[in-house]
Structure 1
Amino acid sequence: MPFDEMLAAGNGVRAPYRRFQSWFESQDPQALAEKAGEAESFFRRTGITFNVYGQKEAAERLIPFDLVPRIISGSEWNRLAEGIEQRVRALNAFLADIYHDREIVKAGIVPARLIDGNEAFLPQMVGFRPPGGVYTHIIGVDIVRTAEDRFYVLEDNARTPSGVSYMIENRETMMQMFPELFAQNRVRPVETYPRHLRRSLSAVAPPACEGVPRVAILTPGIHNSAYYEHAFLADQMGVELVEGSDLKEIDGRIAMRTTRGYLPIDVLYRRVDDAYLDPLAFNPESVLGVPGIMEVYKKGGITLANAPGTGISDDKAIYSYMPEIVQFYTGQPAILENVPTWRCAEEDSLSYVLDNIEELVVKEVHGSGGYGMLVGPAASREERETFCAKLRERPGNYIAQPTLALSTVPILVEKGLAPRHVDLRPFVLVSDTVKIIPGGLTRVALQEGSLVVNSSQGGGTKDTWVLED
């Protein structure tokens, strides 16, 4: 049985949910259903949507929002936060090492083939240290809770993690609709994220910066799936949202076009993938990036967040070594454990996965968003056989994990409350300090029994409360 985050054994209510339960029992079900409709209308008016690539119909969608908050006690959060900080510090140390001395490779812990043969590894970053020594400025750590009431890291998102705008908008919506709930519960704030993000980015300004750092967000444009978030964060931070066509290299700086002429940018929070960032350094066909930006970056004229080449640290094959990586760079065992993982590139692991595929979740090493994966227990025999053929053909392209009994939290349904599976993506800011926003994006599988929480696969979101103990 999965761990129920609201109900304790014997149908008692766990401490974090007791005030909510008392409030819920006093509510009119019809009024709550109307509130759910109000929330959807608010999201539609605000334009809180995401795009689904590869689908002609309904490509732009609302992410379903559930009114029942996910509630985490302060003590539970403190345990999580300690493990998250340890992990992100190890990730930055790992990136600094593999682009410099490669001590972890020399120690025989991480195989060189997983680095040198990895498409996310950028030789252009070898020997270069970013301003402040920070590679992953913004990280989203996907966390699950299992039947044993244990937290595990499912994956690290160290390139351009998305979803923080939904975290903030979910909170704003809840505060507008249910102010009395916030009066009854001491909930830690998440709406301060844009202020913390700007401070964190400003703290890693490049050597060329003079005075107050000028920050901007680089977006691929309105057709990107996360464009709403790019525009939202620029507005909330009070910075410019720019596209590659707005920028050019001038006198060793990257400058943006304004009504006052071109002005230099100190820190660029880029939401453009590595391959499209600079047509002179990477994909020559790209029109999304800025010609010459890598040269300016390496000469200290601008800070790029996250740094190019960070994607190797959220590669799923590298993920399988994270316990050893944490131990190597911190000298301590990992506080947050990995989900057990079989590396299909290893002969014994491949044999096990092929023999037990009906019980496992198989993922592409570079996959994301719920795509390119097989959930064995939910797959047909034909689907499993097709995936076995893929595994035999390219075993190094896959890892496998057990099917986890993800924890459940209640959602609002017609008959009241019903449990659904969830995960959690806390957001972490790294500069001269590590700042972990108390909460994060809870993604929920809205279909009964489903384990797939991704919005692109039919999941929804919730407001995530961390209580003050």
Structure 2
Amino acid sequence: MLFDAYAPQKFYDEYFAAAGQPRAVVEPLLQWFREQPPEAALQAQAKAQQVLEELGATFTFDGEERVLPFDILPRMIAAPVWETLTAGLKQRVMALNQFCADIYGEQKIVKDGVIPREIVESAVGFLPGCMGMKPPKGIWCHISGTDLIRDREGQWHVLEDNLRVPSGIAYVLKNRQAMQRVLPGLLAQYEIEPVETYGQVLERTLRQLGDGAIAVLTPGPDESAYSEHAMLAKQTGAALVEPEALTLVDGCLQRQTPQGLKPIDIIYRRGDTQLINRISLDGYDSGLEGIIDLCQQGRLTLANAMGTGIADDKVIYACVPDMIRYYLDESPKLPNVPTYLCWRDSDRSYVLDHLDQLVVKSASEEGGKGMLVGPNASQSERADFAERIKQDPRGYMAQPTVYLSQIPTFIDDSPAGRHTDLRPYILHQGDDIHVHPGGLTRVALTEGSLVVNSTQGGGSKDTWILGS
């Protein structure tokens, strides 16, 4: 049978409590596969990849367009677990939104000594030009992607926050489409929350920012997530615009079209300051200066607001539990992974003495870059990171090596355990914070690897939130 040789190993396994002991949510799946011909799973696996290629579920890497590797064995999350995660995610986004408003406003959290000023002002994502800015409805963080993991005991933790440009929702939608086409009989065994309404929710989120014209700002076809940008523009009825098509006329942003200039009032940006600086606006030294000024004047709204990158800083991440207590007067519902901040002398000494046991991350890089997985690194790699930390203590943080939960994944025609994480998407609409059901389940396809990013060789799965 399909899972007869599968070994849960020593990690928390999403399917099995122990060898031969499947978790309750998996029983219908196992039964369904038992009733199929032996070759059905492998045929479905091959067919799903073909379908995703047809759907354009691609990313660009090293100049080559690739289909994101996909696995047909879904991640399943029971309704009570999802309710707990939803509550924790809403709480976190609410606190982060208040943090952005405060940091670019009165800075009460700094004045009260909860977060040191030097940590805020030294963050790469801190933009002094945003001081005093008041986005519509007080929303800074419109679309967030919060990365969650489970440890050896199955406890959920927040691994990091993504508030500037969270990507990956296209794979969530297309993975579900592939499963519906390839394994409709399996999906029928479960009551699964739908995901296809994301475009409508996103459009509603953007429309609440004003009545004007909306554009999705993209770096262009060479960007790895360009197909996602195009899909979201189509789903929301927005124009898909590159920076070079934008100009300033009578103090208002316009886009160039074959029919002439057309105004833009709301931008859903799919890039950070590098993308914004490609915009050339008369009268401004940089695109960033011009766009921030237009936002300050109320002539333009950005989702997510410029300045939210401060909350993506991995040193600021360590302060989010304190933000929740400070702004909301609540205990965090979802814990962080324990974190050592290298700008602290005692933490830095510990990190340097235990590099073989820790994961070290750059405070400002993303996508698995600028990271050292100590137990898997060579002595020379650890020595290199030790020097980096000594040269720039503020630029690094470290965490114990959390062995992410594993999930069965087809490797060489049979299921094998691979480490996984989850990125749910949260949309802040002012009166409501919407946590879209499911999210992107990413899988490290290399045995033993803890890095799940697509650019680092990771794949993905469909995520099923089961009805109550």
Residues 250-289 of structure 1: matches in 2 within 5 Å? 250-278=249-277
TM-score calculated relative to the size of structure 2: 0.93
Letter aligned with residue 443 of structure 1: R
Structure 1 gaps, min length 5: none
TM-score calculated relative to the size of structure 1: 0.93
Is 1:281–1:294's contact at 8 Å kept on the other side of the alignment? no
Cα distance in 2, alignment partners of residues 136 and 231 from structure 1: 21
SS in 1 for 2:200: helix
1:367 is aligned, of 354, 365, 368, to: 365
Shift of 1:413: 3.5
Shift of 1:174: 0.5
SS in 2 for 1:422: strand
SS in 2 for 1:450: coil
Is 1:186–1:467's contact at 8 Å kept on the other side of the alignment? yes
Cα distance in 1, alignment partners of residues 324 and 138 from structure 2: 18
Q: 1:399-443 CA deviation, whole Å, 9 max, x = no partner? A: 000101211111123453222110000001112221110100000
Which is worse superposed, 350-359 or 179-188? Answer: 179-188
Count matched residues: 456
CA RMSD between the two structures: 1.9
Residue 178 to residue 374, structure 1, CA distance change in 2 (3 Å)? same
Residue 376 to residue 285, structure 1, CA distance change in 2 (3 Å)? farther
1:326 maps onto 2:335 in alignment: no
Cα distance in 1, alignment partners of residues 127 and 291 from structure 2: 15
Shift of 1:390: 1.5
Aligned to 2:150: 145
2:374 is aligned, of 376, 389, 396, to: 376
Cα distance in 1, alignment partners of residues 194 and 78 from structure 2: 14
Letter aligned with residue 78 of structure 2: S
Residues 22-421 of structure 1: matches in 2 within 5 Å? 22-52=31-61, 55=62, 59-205=64-210, 209=211, 213-278=212-277, 292-414=290-412, 416-421=414-419
Q: 1:80-128 CA deviation, whole Å, 9 max, x = no partner? A: 0000000000000000000011110011110100111222111111011
Is 1:51–1:59's contact at 8 Å kept on the other side of the alignment? yes
SS in 1 for 2:188: helix
Is 1:51–1:226's contact at 8 Å kept on the other side of the alignment? yes
Aligned to 1:456: 455
Q: 1:234-256 CA deviation, whole Å, 9 max, x = no partner? A: 12222211112322223332222
Is 1:152–1:338's contact at 8 Å kept on the other side of the alignment? yes
Is 1:74–1:468's contact at 8 Å kept on the other side of the alignment? yes
Cα distance in 2, alignment partners of residues 258 and 385 from structure 1: 53
Is 1:156–1:314's contact at 8 Å kept on the other side of the alignment? yes
SS in 2 for 1:155: strand
Cα distance in 1, alignment partners of residues 39 and 223 from structure 2: 37
Shift of 1:455: 0.8
Q: 1:311-335 CA deviation, whole Å, 9 max, x = no partner? A: 0011001011111111111100100
Letter aligned with residue 149 of structure 1: G
Letter aligned with residue 274 of structure 1: T
Is 2:180–2:187's contact at 8 Å kept on the other side of the alignment? yes
Aligned to 2:4: none
Which is worse superposed, 386-395 or 324-333? Answer: 386-395
Shift of 1:259: 4.8
Residue 303 to residue 2, structure 1, CA distance change in 2 (3 Å)? same
Cα distance in 2, alignment partners of residues 134 and 230 from structure 1: 22
Letter aligned with residue 294 of structure 2: V
Which is worse superposed, 188-197 or 442-451? Answer: 442-451
Cα distance in 1, alignment partners of residues 150 and 249 from structure 2: 50
Shift of 1:167: 0.8
Is 1:274–1:309's contact at 8 Å kept on the other side of the alignment? no
Q: Identity over the aligned pairs, expressed in percent?
A: 44
Letter aligned with residue 123 of structure 1: P
Structure 2 gaps, min length 5: 1-9
Residue 413 to residue 261, structure 1, CA distance change in 2 (3 Å)? same
Is 1:50–1:225's contact at 8 Å kept on the other side of the alignment? yes
Is 2:444–2:452's contact at 8 Å kept on the other side of the alignment? yes
